[in-house]
Structure 1
Amino acid sequence: MLLATAVAVPVGVQVIGDGKSHNRPDKDAPVDEPQARRLAQKSGKEVEVTAARSANTTTWAQPDGSFRKQIFSSAFRANVNGKWKPIDTGLERVEGGYAAKAVNGRVFFSGGSKEQAGGEERASRGVNRVSLRQDTPGQVWSELVRLNTGGHDMNVSWPGALPAPVIDGPRALYENVRPGIDLVMTAQDGGYSHLLVVKDKQAAADPLLGQLKYRLASPDMTFHLDDESDALSARDAKGEEIAGSPTPMMWDSSGKVATTDNKPAWKPTDVAEQHPTLALAGLAGAEGARLKPVAATLADNALSLTPDNALLNAPETVYPVFIDPSFKGHKHAWTLLYKTAGNSSFYNGQNYNASGTHEARVGYESTSGGTSRSIFNFDFGSQLHGSEIVSASVRALQTYSWSCDQKPTDIYSTPYITSSSTWNNTTGFWTRKVATERAGYGYNSSCPDNWIAPDIKGLVAEAANSGWGALSLGFAAPNESDSYYWKKFIANGETAPYIEVVYNNRPDIPVAANMQTIPGGPCQTSGSGTAIGKTNVTFQVKGSDRDDRPDQQNLDRVQIEVWPAAGGGPVFDQWLPANIDGVVSAEVPLDTFTDGQTYYWLSRTTDKDGAWSGGSGPLNSGSSGWCTFTVSHTVPPNPAVSSAAFPPQGDNFTEWSTEPASTPGQTFTVKGNGAKAEDIHEYQWSLNRPYFDQKATPKAGSDEAVVPLQVDTSGPNVLYVRTVSKSGNISNQSVYGFLVKPRAGQDKPGDVTGDGNPDLLAIDKDGNLRTYAGDSVGDTDAYIPGAVENGQPVAPGYWKDPATGQSALIGHATDWYPGDGLTDLIARMPDGKLYIYPGTGTGQFDVGRRMQMQMPLSAPDPSAFRQLVVTEDIDGDGLGDLFALDADGFWVFSGYTGSSFASYKRMATGWAGRDIVGVRDVSGDKVPDLIFRDNTNANRGLALRKGKPGVNGGVDLTSLESKANSEGAEDHTYATTGWGRAAYPKVLGTPDANGDGIPDIWAVGTNENQWIFQGGTSTIGSPMGRDEDGWNTFLTIG
């Protein structure tokens, strides 16, 4: 036979020996293990796990939660177009030839040379073949077989033309391929058998038989010939055998077809009656025939066979003579080892006793003088990996023994067999005996054929725990000189040997990818592992159990065990209940760990059946070593920060950026400042608030990282930076203060730094003026000294009277004088006078250029003011306006021209319990409104008085004098209670700070906080930001 593939066993074998009925769900809906388990427990009957079907295995869930699996040495089903079907090697017509109906892989036989010649394009579809190819003059190659096994293609070509075949079930007869020579091809699951039938001596003289050649081809396999056995193998790129051919054999017709008691005699088919070659007894094997190996060589992918001339020409040779090279897939296989032909391979029983055998043999047979052993491969992939084996036995149907005496058969664990396995090269296989079974079945009707089932639980448990994908079992007689130990077992077909296993699924061993520490990150199993700093450590594991279902979790608990790498007992060891996602977490205090020490940790799982994921000995999580971490309590130094674009502001706040605010492409450089590059994980930074929500990572081998940053806030800014070590320890922060030049153009209302955002001025407890630069949402994160004199800092305490402690009243909104477009500061100083302090455009005011503001005759003395509120133009005259409160009066001053106000007016009295918050358009009607703190209504904290349009634009100031004069004649509740002076001693309205077009409010509480509240058109909004800087000690804001 020439490269054969897998042995067929019908689906009926699924229920061998148990006699039970199986409760099966819908065939069209594959049932997985958890679902089958639930159905079995509910019904009290076993349920097939249809999703686990393979070509040679079947699995059933048991009512007790366990599973029963049968693993056959031969395939008994094939996957055809996504559906499992019984093996059917019958040939059917396909394009270009004939193919087996339902086999694993594909077996295709040629439809004849004429069909190939007429349809070469069609016949070669998807195949790398040589058809009707002229290699040498007179030499024609015709594709004979197209085989796919294990996902690999190969072709075998015949050295000559082929007639159209006669089809008889799985057989294709090519008559008279040469005069007096027929060719019989038989499809098998994953392979084929091949018989060249030489009918007489005249045919035997055909030059073709002088050296019979077959051309082999494959796009991804190479072919190898074993030197001792002449067994041929096809191997993939890794050198693994994919398909194999046993030792080629030839025999004559002198033997007789073997018969067994109660077994029907072999009968030819109806087609065979019309085509006598198909009825020859020698096709089915004939014991006692003259049998010889056929010499083989392989060169340039051409297999050359040299039949034995002595057998062909011997007078006693009975014709026809049969020559048999074959090919068989490697995955599901067995082999017969025959001592008499010690260098011959009888892979899958092929060529033994002429055309082969479907019976394994064990022991010494005195009639022939032969001694046999048999080995079976059982493939199961990963189906048993990690399972808890409850029971396991190998079952084989014994069909013959020398008597009914129960003689033992030994079962061995052997290496995996291949097509080149022979008696002589397997003598070292028989060292590990795993079972012995006494039986005397198959002698006569007193001890008929029956199954043996030796226990091999230990071996199967080892396979499951060690992750084997297959195991091989060898059958041998303990006494190989006594014929009473000789036995036969069915090796192929629906009663082939199989392993029956009952097992429980263990929960899965947690893998490194599902294990992590916080901090530290995912499990590392090499070197010193992850680095963890001076902090509590949270260990987190995600467990799983393949018996879990979305509606029913079988996973129960997960263990976390931690111990020092240097030795000693665990420092933490707990079994924790898994949550619905299979996750457990455990926080372990930092004082559990020692600085500088390395620790290992692992995880195990248990399920609700009591099974656990571990095996014997220590468990390494994920099969890749212990999870490892090293503890370090060393805190890195705070980083060094520099920038050419943004130099440090200097002690006197005189150094400014090289470019104005919002200039793109600017950078800062951060270095370790003594921290080693290999110890730095990252730098964390943030602008103007110590949030540290941004990251910068140095390049490998360097401690330097570049922070790209476009700064949009003019004036004072602060970059906060800290170092995070690889152990997770965090340095102290570095605070890098810098000043950013204003953008070109006039200041907008409330802006003193030139970036368009309103800023906040404040006098601290020591009497110093501070400028807090507001950002795009009104946050005031950094400040600079607000006053200079000819570019130099002013004396401390300038803004309060040291004797009385009285502070200046301040306000800013717009440009007052001399019309340079820069916002100026209005201040009533402790001397009782009112001054303009010109702005520099950089957030500071020059006290050396101050100008006293003259008051109109009869106007109130500024020394009596208790509150000062400055606004941009609100009455339509194009000039800024000033509102003030004295002991009881509400005043407005308008039309300042550089020397004096053009007008003033007491708007109202009765304001002793009220404070002005702001005078700007709040309601959105383009007319300024008045917001004030109201003490006349117990349920109202802030009031909104809507203004009426003035004749010159702006607001009619009389509409702000009283509720009666206002738009709608109503003071509306802008904020409810909680806005009294005790809660917020200082409240100040500001132009829109967050970009929504509505003025906002700054408020200073009694708990050191300064807040900015979002304005609304009818009621105040929520606080948008907070500054914690001892604001309860500040003397005033403005």
Structure 2
Amino acid sequence: MEIEPLRTESSITYANPDGTLTEESTTGPVRVKDESGDWQDVDTTLVFRNGAVQPKQAAAEIQFSDGGEGPLAEVTEGARSLGLGWDGPLPRPVLDGNTATYKNVQPNADLVVTALPEGFSHLLILNERPTEQVELRIPVTAEGLKLRETADERLLWESADGKDIAASPVPMMWGADERPAANEPEHVSDVTASVEGPAGDQTLVLKPDAGFLKNPDVTYPVTIDPTNTLLGPLTDTWVQDAAYPTSQRGSTELKAGTYNGTERARSYLKFDTSRFAGKSVVDADLRLFSHWSSSCSTDNAGIQVRRVTSDWDPSGITWSAQPATTSVGAPVSKVAKGYNATCPGGHVSWDVDGIVQAWADGQPNYGVCLAAVDETDPLTWRRYRSSNYVDGSHDSASEPSLIVTYNSTPAVPANLVVNPLRAEASLPTVSSLTPTLQAKVADLDAGSTLTAEFQVEPDPAHTDTTYTWTGKTAQVVSGALATVQIPTSAAVPDGAHLRIRARSSDGVASSAWSGWLAFRVDANAVLPADVPQHLQSGATDTASPLVSGVVTSPNGGMVEAQFRLHNGATTQMLGTQLVPNGERAGFQIPAENLTTGGPFAWSMRGCYAGKCSAWTANTAIATNPVAQPSASTAGTSVVLPLIKATVCTDSETCTGTTGSTLKVGAVSGKNWRGYLKADVSGIPAGATVVDAKLQLTELPPT
């Protein structure tokens, strides 16, 4: 069962029948809240809307041009926005899933823009070999941001105060021919990039290498990848030796291993694991979807998941500057999926219990690294889906996921009580041979249910019994009192000195034992409850009045209040309420009990373990029964004035008030109930009420 209050953009949590919780988290957002506050799955399917092209539901505000002049693509998150334009008017795009294609933006060249969950990427497709030098001049649009080149030739968006906000890898281009074992382009080249102009009026200038474009070995179409633009905190990326040495954070895949023994790839992922701090990890699995492997053979060195031990920037990581990792507790998978129909694409999982437990125990969470155990083994080449892989509507099956089942050790039980208990200066006295044991149990895990286990044994300060008993309560929710009664078959011996303790359990883990509570057994020790005091007949001008009084007992513990109604010469039992010693007990008399006869009066008494006080003196009740209307022939709306009354229910010093602001629930350290009576004189006698609404105005807290 899902625990909905724990749902986030990138995680969902379930309560398991055994008391554990399971959280499924991703490296990026898979759902967002709409304008009504309801969760919606990310859906980057593009549609024409509001004079632009927009994804149906993304994690940032994204829009593309629907043709003509103006920006090509923009992404906005909060007060920041950034985007790119195009040199000249654009044709109306052709939409397909999350891509928009602008045909022939240059001779024999198409522009393809793709919506990602938190940004966009765009490509220029050269369908034929160009006859002239190719140069792309892309206007930059930004609000509160500036584009600049880094020392390693990446493109970096920074804020006005110099903070890095978003980055893109080095612009690249590749031909259509592929390496069979790698399933990636055979010919790849960097694209020279520069940024011209001041902040607010910048242009990104790209100059593809003419030699690459003229190379007869390069097969067309050629794809030029200028940049990707992401504003969100996506935390998965990969780097690859010589071919892709800078972070590929905007990529739709993650790579690991090698296809030729020299070109190596590693992937880095980070999940939010803050919820597991201090928890016991029962099971943890890292799950990725493998869409390509270099073969179907499982006779390979395998891909290892290593815990990262130093910090890293998802945008700034490079092959030459990778964070440190540890192989301690690093699991390995040799599974191969995605090569052909014999081993089709599918999920691959790693058991990462030790890694997640290390984070839960306080080790810094810098994420994990995926790398081949032997980076010269060409059978280790793997390509997985990244968090950017969203082909239209969200598909949770393809997301990189961390699935963790965890548990909190329950708290030591509190408020240990044995009833019926009489508090005495020397030693508490239990007056029943089958007493009730109770304790408050609690657990930090939302939605968990708990039991309490009680142990009863001889008080070591005395030598009058060898009695022992152990028992468990039924399950209760966290924060509730867990209660069990010692059965008659295991009755405690009269006159014995005993002690009890308790511990709580969620079915997986148990708390430490509580301290001991010592008591003696005296079956004749129960005294009657006291006569109730501070009686009140609150809101007695209503059709269903509330009556109450404060009940006490020299035995302490819980006291039962009993209420009865007097109607002339007859007396009727109304009901009971069990409250802690010294608190106010109340009963609302049903209106049907006050419709005939009279005069009416009420009384109450207190009881403890079957021993009751005397009844209080009768207290008169003034009632105003509600007349039963008959059919009406007219349709009229009226506004009726109300008489207001507020009653305090739990303190002997409380008094009822009328005509004041209504108080309901816990207010100023006291518990309140409110009563209202309408002046129905404005409704014709015998009229039928078709519809009635009570309208109240909630005042701000004071």
TM-score, scaled relative to structure 2: 0.53
Shift of 1:555: 11
CA distance in 1, matches of 2:411, 2:343: 46
Q: CA deviation at 1:475?
A: 0.9
Query: Pairwise mapping of residues 642-661 of structure 1 onto structure 2 (< 5 A)?
Result: none
State the 1:342 CA deviation. 5.9
CA contact under 8 A between 1:244 and 1:330: conserved in structure 2? no
CA distance in 1, matches of 2:151, 2:449: 58
Q: Root-mean-square deviation (CA), in Å?
A: 4.0
Equivalent position to 2:151, from 217, 227, 241: 227
**CA separation of 1:158 and 1:59: change in aligned 2, threshold 3 A:** same
Query: After superposition, where does 1:645-724 map in structure 2 within 5 Å?
Result: none
Structure 2 matches for 1:503-582, cutoff 5 A? 503-505=406-408, 546-547=444-445
2:230 aligned partner: 328
Residues 185 and 193, structure 1, Cα contact 8 Å, conserved in 2 = yes
Matched position secondary structure for 1:418:
coil
Match status 1:88 vs 2:43? yes
Deviation at 1:97, TM superposition (A): 0.7
Does residue 396 of structure 2 align to residue 441 of structure 1? no
Q: CA deviation at 1:317?
A: 4.2
Q: For residue 377 of structure 1, what is the aligned residue in structure 2?
A: 270
1:346 alignment partner AA: Q
When the two structures are aligned, how many residues end up with a matched partner?
423
Code of the aligned partner of 1:218 = E
Contact 1:545/1:554 (8 A) holds in 2:
no
- Say if 1:388 and 1:237 are closer, same or farther in 2 by CA, change over 3 A: farther
Unpaired segments ≥5 residues, structure 1: 1-46, 115-141, 261-285, 350-357, 510-541, 558-579, 584-605, 615-1038
Deviation for aligned residue 1:161: 2.7
Find out whether 1:462 has 2:462 as its counterpart.
no
Query: How many percent of aligned residue pairs carry the same amino acid?
Result: 27
Q: Distance in 1 between matches of 2:49 and 2:409?
A: 47
Could you tell me which residue of structure 2 aligns to residue 156 of structure 1? Answer: 84
Matched, 1:61 2:15: yes
Letter aligned with residue 188 of structure 2: L
**Greater relative contact order: 1 or 2 (C-alpha under 8 angstroms, separation 6 or more)?**
2
User: How far off its partner does 1:502 sit?
Assistant: 0.7
Higher strand proportion, which one?
A: 2
1:409 to 303, 306, 321: 303
Partner deviation per Cα, 1:281-332 (whole Å, 9 max, x = no partner): xxxxx83443211122335343332221222333444444321122234422
- Secondary structure in 1 aligned to 2:270? strand
Q: CA deviation at 1:201?
A: 4.5
Structure 1 pair 488/199, CA: closer, same or farther in 2 (3 Å)?
closer
1:290-369 maps to which residues of 2 (within 5 A)? Answer: 290-299=187-196, 300-301=198-199, 302=202, 303-324=204-225, 325-341=227-243, 343-349=245-251, 358-366=252-260, 369=262
Shift of 1:501: 0.6
Q: Which amino acid aligns with 2:31?
A: R
**Structure 1 residue 190 corresponds to structure 2 residue 144:** no
Query: Structure 1 residue 63: deviation in Å?
Result: 0.7
Aligned-pair distance for 1:455?
Answer: 2.6
| Alignment deviations for residues 131-186 of structure 1 (CA, whole Å, 9 cap, x no partner) | xxxxxxxxxxx312120247742232223333332323322222333444331111
- Is 1:169 matched up with 2:169? no
Alignment match of 1:400 (pick from 293, 310, 316): 293
Alpha carbons of structure 1 residues 109 and 613: separation in structure 2 relative to 1, 3 Å: farther
CA contact (8 A) 1:72 1:499 kept: yes
- Going from structure 1 to structure 2, the CA distance change for 1:196 and 1:56 (only over 3 Å counts) comes to same
Does residue 78 of the first structure (1) align with residue 17 of the second (2)? no
Residue aligning to 1:473: 368
1:244 aligns with 2:138: no
Displacement after TM superposition at 1:60 (Å): 0.9
- Give yes or no for contact 2:442–2:480 (8 Å, CA) kept in 1: yes
| Structure 1 position 487 matched with structure 2 position 390 | no
TM-score, reference length from structure 1: 0.37
Query: Following the alignment from structure 1 to structure 2, what is the Cα–Cα distance between the partners of residues 73 and 410?
Result: 19
Query: Counterparts of 2:340 and 2:48 in 1: how far apart (Å)?
Result: 44
1:60–1:183 distance in 2 versus 1, CA, 3 Å: same
- Distance in 2 of aligned mates of 1:108 and 1:467: 41
Taking a change above 3 Å as real, the CA distance of residues 158 and 365 of structure 1, as seen in their structure-2 partners, is same
CA distance in 1, matches of 2:442, 2:232: 34
Deviations 1:913-962 (A, max 9, x none): xxxxxxxxxxxxxxxxxxxxxxxxxxxxxxxxxxxxxxxxxxxxxxxxxx
The correspondence of residues 269-288 of structure 1 with structure 2, limited to 5 A, is: 287-288=184-185
Give per-residue Cα distances to partners, 1:113-141, cap 9 Å, x unaligned.
35xxxxxxxxxxxxxxxxxxxxxxxxxxx
Aligned 8 A contact 2:407 2:445 in 1: no
Matched, 1:497 2:400: yes
CA distance in 2, matches of 1:315, 1:486: 29
Distance 1:76 1:346, change over 3 A: same
Contact 1:112/1:165, CA 8 A, preserved across alignment: yes
Q: Give me the whole-angstrom Cα distance separating, in 2, the residues matched to 1:437 and 1:413.
A: 12
In structure 2, the residue corresponding to 1:454 is in which secondary structure? strand
**Distance verdict in 2 for CA 1:151–1:49, change over 3 Å:** farther
Shift of 1:109: 0.4
How far did 1:100 drift? 0.4
In 1, Cα distance between equivalents of 2:400 and 2:280: 23
Distance 1:333 1:52 in 2: 21
Partner Cα separation in structure 1 for residue 442 and residue 107 of structure 2: 68
1:295 maps to a residue whose letter is: T
CA distance in 2, matches of 1:582, 1:240: 49
Indicate how the Cα distance of structure 1 residues 227 and 92 shifts in structure 2: closer, same or farther if over 3 A, else same: same
Q: Residue in 1 aligned with 2:635?
A: none
> 2:208 is matched by which residue type in structure 1?
P
Deviation at 1:66, TM superposition (A): 0.9
Question: Quick one: distance in 2 between partners of 1:94 and 1:58?
Answer: 31
Between Structure 1 and Structure 2, whose CA radius of gyration is higher? 1
Q: Give 1 or 2: higher helix fraction.
A: 1
Distance 1:467 1:216, change over 3 A: farther
Q: Name the SS for the 2:350 alignment partner.
A: coil
SS at match of 1:383: helix
**Partner of 2:143 in structure 1?**
218
Matches of 2:33 and 2:404, distance apart in 1: 23
